[in-house]
A and B are shown apart, each in its own frame.
Chain A
Amino acid sequence: MYLAKVKVTLKPAVNDPQGITIGRALGRLGFDTVDSVRAGKYFELKINEPERAVAEKKVREMCEKLLANPVIERFSFDLEPA
């Protein structure tokens, strides 16, 4: 069993209105050193696979197929035994 911690973020070139709005709100709260904010998504997946390589391949497939939209997003993940 493996635990995959998947991060999905917007590609750097893609405008992120959500992050900009959060950044402005932080500024209003007095956190005036916040230069920029990028919002993203985080998933934890428990995977019933005995082999690390297989688990890794499947998580990659899940990211490419569903968890991230390759048009606007990119993903990264860590695998740890669970």
Chain B
Amino acid sequence: MKFGIVVFPGTWSDGDCHHATSTVLSQQAEFVWHGDRDISRFDAIILPGGFSYGDYLRCGAIARFSPIMESIIRFAERGGQVIGICNGFQILCEAGLLPGALMRNDHMEFRCSWINLRVEQPDSQFSHLTKKGQILHMPISHGEGNYQADPETIATLERTGRVLFRYCDERGGITREANPNGSANSIAGIVNERGNVLGMMPHPERACEALLGGEDGNVIFRSMFTPWRQPADVSQRK
């Protein structure tokens, strides 16, 4: 699979995404500048973490109007895989490819730490190599990861199985203490209605080698390039 890794002014996790997908997982990966429009050579797009445009105005608000975003919106509409990590998740919400918004962490602090994620939905092109309830260990690094949306949107995400990951404690318990930012329902990652656009605050690309503290992040990238047949009941969920 050929990953396109989008670089905005202020992106900082592009190198990590490249390393994880190419060196660790032996896929093709190429950086693509936010001013470019042609992304037709890629099978999947990664919007990496960082502080695009200095997080001015709102996180992701200005990156959302970069020339490449029009191409990414069309790419997603045609079913192309898009994963937004951290700032990438914020950009996807600002662009309207995912519902809701990422607000200031409820405790007002920037959090940089390893956390636990519980897999809620393994029937997805981003998580089909995991099991429901599996705990993934990976880092977070953000000040604005507090996922919020109106109650109807949250209810729809839950009802249609679009919450892929939730913050949990080491035994898989969903507790207030294990929620690092105040996100509604401890939501850490969601997909769009079609299931081909994932936004998540934790950094799978920084959990790609034992040397770095863990390899749990790889399963997300591996799910992306490993063939998967969508179960009928998932395609019909609304």
Tell me whether A15 is interfacial, beta carbon within 8 Å: yes
Contact of B106 among A17, A66, A72 (CB under 8 A): A17
Contact of A69 among B58, B62, B99, B150 (CB under 8 A): B58
* Smallest Cβ-Cβ distance to A14: which chain B residue: B148
Most-contacted residue by chain A among B101, B103, B106, B108 (CB, 10 A): B103
Tell me whether A21 is interfacial, beta carbon within 8 Å: yes
Interface string of A13-41 (1 = CB under 8 A from B): 11101100100000000000000000000
Contact of B94 among A13, A18, A67, A69 (CB under 8 A): A69
B161-214 interface with A by 8 A CB criterion: 182
Q: Determine whether the beta carbon of B61 is less than 8 Å from that of A17.
A: no
Q: Determine whether the beta carbon of A18 is less than 8 Å from that of B101.
A: no
Tell me whether B146 is interfacial, beta carbon within 8 Å: yes
Q: Determine whether the beta carbon of B182 is less than 8 Å from that of A69.
A: no
Tell me whether A71 is interfacial, beta carbon within 8 Å: yes
Kindly state the separation between the CA atoms of A17 and B57 in the bound complex, as whole angstroms: 17
* Smallest Cβ-Cβ distance to B149: which chain A residue: A71
Kindly state the separation between the CA atoms of A35 and B220 in the bound complex, as whole angstroms: 46
Q: Determine whether the beta carbon of A21 is less than 8 Å from that of B148.
A: no
Interface SS of chain A: helix, strand, loop or mixed? loop
Q: Determine whether the beta carbon of A69 is less than 8 Å from that of B61.
A: yes
- A-B contacts, 30 listed (Cβ < 8 Å): A13-B150, A14-B103, A15-B103, A15-B106, A15-B148, A15-B182, A17-B104, A17-B105, A17-B106, A17-B107, A17-B108, A17-B146, A17-B182, A18-B104, A18-B108, A21-B108, A66-B57, A66-B61, A66-B62, A66-B65, A67-B57, A69-B58, A69-B101, A71-B93, A71-B99, A71-B100, A71-B101, A71-B149, A71-B150, A72-B101
| Sample of 19 further A-B pairs with CB below 8 A, known A17-B107, A66-B61, A71-B100 | A14-B103, A14-B148, A15-B103, A15-B106, A15-B182, A17-B105, A17-B146, A17-B182, A18-B104, A21-B108, A66-B57, A66-B62, A66-B65, A69-B58, A69-B94, A71-B101, A71-B150, A72-B101, A72-B148
